Structure 1
Amino acid sequence: MAAHTDTSATADASTGASSAGTTATPGSTRTRSILATRPLLGWRTVDILTIAFLGAALGIAFWGWGVFYNGPLSAITFGFAPLGGLFAGPWFLAGVVGGLVVRRPGAALFCEVVAALVSMIPGTEWGATTLVSGIVQGLGTEIAFALLGYRAFGIAAAMLAGALAGPFAAAYESFTWIQDWSLAWKVAYAGVLALSGAVVAGAGGWLLTRALAVAGALGAFPPGQEHRETRAV
């Protein structure tokens, strides 16, 4: 007899999560992500507050990265400026983490915009364009989760979200900071941004989310439930 698989969506009132796909049983492996409770647009107060907190914390980190950004940038871009995109991945992190934690439409964009706004407040060399960049990059990560129907939140989904922020950022910068570059350089820059986004923001954001879940900081969210179910197996 084939093993029974529960494919129904079961809601956990304490976490605001619903399980889509196989449930974890001893000796089994989860094959799908735990989703936010339906309706997906039914944001809870804790969702809003958590995104605001994550965005603010990462925004401070963004500002710190911006302070040290130009040193390594100048060294690696000597002779081939598009390589500077290798250092842009950290700025896509907020959108990925926000999407992975809350798992509702708008979470990735919201978190990235908050982070950009907070990083702009102390003052940066990019001024108000920091906020515009945050909006554009957040749209890239948001679209990635939307393309997956807000149903996949594993490392592959996170890397896709981080990667997609890259071309969006490159498209915006093509009309601002790099408008005098050749088309070949702009295309190369978009590719480098996508690579940095996939590795640093995508894989890095997934690992950060898992670390927060292990630390018990995401008990009210799907990643926290996934961690509890993994420990129960």
Structure 2
Amino acid sequence: MSTTTTQAPPGRRSITATRPLLGWRTVDILTITFLGAAFGIVFWGWALAYEPLSKAVSVAYVPLSGLFTGPWLLAGVVGGLVVRRPGAALLCEVVAALVSMLPGTQWGATTLMSGILQGLGAELAFALLGYRSYRLPAAVLAGVLAVPLEWLFETFSVPASWTDVPLLGDLTGGGAWYGELLLRDKLAYLGALAVSGAVLAGLVGWLLTRALARAGALSAFPPGQELRETGAV
């Protein structure tokens, strides 16, 4: 399979998808769908673990619960790193959100909205880099930029009818939503989300992509070719 590459020293360049970038192949669509479905199952499982973890740290400081959000941003990061076409990050995150909704979660239909917003943020990161850079800094940027729109949604846009969602429990006086926090605490929550996005989505997503490439699962995609060129596989 032919690919186009950026001009950089061997082993340090990012290999882009075959041109044209908007020319999605069947294998691209199937892979994004599979990845999204797999991450959707992970998302659902993480939702079960998130509530006790977030409540535990909220005893000390409610915004610290944002440190556990990163796993929900993984689909957009990995989807973008693997397929490397415009829309890959967004589509993978949305598919994951849809799949995670099927068994039912405590956030209901807002799960899909979160998936769209998170996917848009990750997509923006790759777009800002011209869909040409997919090294670790790009993955971290995607994890971080997956956060702001979700933060706005959680802290300013969620309807009052959702204030009884068991997210913060009674630690803030009866199941308050993040929208009831002081501005300084909302900003602290944004910082916690960004750290989680950088580490648990960006770094972990990059490592996961490399692991899949080493296992031979991405031989038809740029990450597989990058490792072949560097002699890593």
TM-score normalized by structure 1?
A: 0.89
Q: Paired residue for 1:192? A: 192
Q: Is the 8 A contact 1:166 1:191 kept in 2?
A: no
Count the aligned residue pairs: 214
Instruction: Please state if 1:134 is matched with 2:109.
Output: no
The one-letter amino acid paired with 1:205 is G
Distance 2:101 2:232 in 1: 43
- Name the residue aligned to 1:204: 204
- Which residues in structure 2 correspond to 1:51-62 (within 5 Å)? 51-62=32-43
Match of 2:66 among 69, 73, 85: 85
Q: Deviations over 1:196-233 (max 9, x none)?
A: 00000000000000000000000110001011111179
1:41 and 2:41 aligned: no
Q: Which residue of 2 aligns with 1:19?
A: 5
User: How far 1:163 sits from its partner (Å)?
Assistant: 0.8
Q: In structure 2, how many angstroms separate the alpha carbons of the residues matched to 1:185 and 1:66?
A: 23
1:64 to 2:45 alignment: yes
CA distance in 2, matches of 1:23, 1:31: 6
Instruction: Find the residue that maps to 1:34 and give its secondary structure.
Output: coil
Which position in structure 2 is the counterpart of 1:123?
104
**1:163-210 Cα distance to aligned partner (Å, 9 max, x none):** 111222111101224221111111111111011000000000000000
* Residue identity in the other structure for 2:202: G
Provide runs of 4+ in structure 1 moved above 2 Å.
none
* Secondary structure at the counterpart of residue 199 of structure 2: helix
Superimposed CA distance per residue, residues 89-140 of structure 1 (whole angstroms, 9 cap, x where no aligned partner): 0000000000000001000000000000000000001001000000000011
Aligned-residue sequence identity (percent) comes to: 65
Distance 1:230 1:165 in 2: 30
Letter in 2 for 1:65: W
Residue in structure 2 matched with residue 4 of structure 1 by the alignment: none
1:173 is the counterpart of 2:159: no
2:129 to 148, 164, 187: 148
Amino acid at match of 1:36: A
TM-superposition CA deviations, 1:4-35 (whole Å, max 9, x none): xxxxxxxx43xxx32221363xxxxx232001
* Equivalent position amino acid for 1:40 in 2: L
Match of 1:111 among 81, 92, 95: 92
How far apart in 1 are the matches of 2:200 and 2:49?
17
Task: Return the alpha-carbon distance in structure 1 between the equivalents of residues 23 and 59 of structure 2.
Answer: 49
- The answer to whether structure 1 residue 73 and structure 2 residue 59 are counterparts is no
Q: 1:160, 1:202 within 8 Å by CA — same for their partners in 2? A: yes
Q: Contact 1:113/1:134 (CA < 8 Å) preserved in 2?
A: yes
Shift of 1:79: 3.6
- Report if aligned partners of 2:214, 2:232 keep a CA contact under 8 Å in 1: no
1:27 alignment counterpart: none
